Amino acid sequence: MFQQNTVYIIGDSKTSSNNPIMQKYNSFFIGLVVNRETNEIVDAECSSTIALTSIFIKSLFVGKSILEVENVLEEIEQRYFGSSQKALMVAFKNANIKYTQIMNK
């Protein structure tokens, strides 16, 4: 399904204890498939309790560069108003750090 030039990265974070995602998964995760030649995010999914949340979050990431952190974070702030907004931002930053480490090896 995914080309040889892609990698799969998980970013994780915590959110408030009363958040349904924390109650179900004990953490917030975002999975990103990234084209390592272009740095483009080609697929995304997250831990969520509502399918629409995962679909919307996917739309925030697919087609973006994993290296353009500030642009992606700004879009999250302007468009995603779920209770896990900050957790999503932290998870993306975490995924970016992991990706950068992998690419620098």
> What pLDDT, on a 0 to 100 scale, did the predictor assign at position 20?
53
Q: What mean pLDDT, rounded, does the chain reach? A: 90
- Distance of alpha carbon 65 from alpha carbon 50, whole angstroms: 26
> What pLDDT, on a 0 to 100 scale, did the predictor assign at position 3?
95
What are the structural domains, with CATH classification, of the chain? 6-103 (3.90.1010.10)
Which residue from 30, 4, 26, 42 is spatially nearest to 95, judged by alpha carbons? 30
In angstroms, the first-to-last Cα distance of the chain is 25
* pLDDT, tens only, 46-82: 987 788 999 999 999 999 999 999 999 999 999 999 8
Can you tell me the mean pLDDT for 11-33? 72
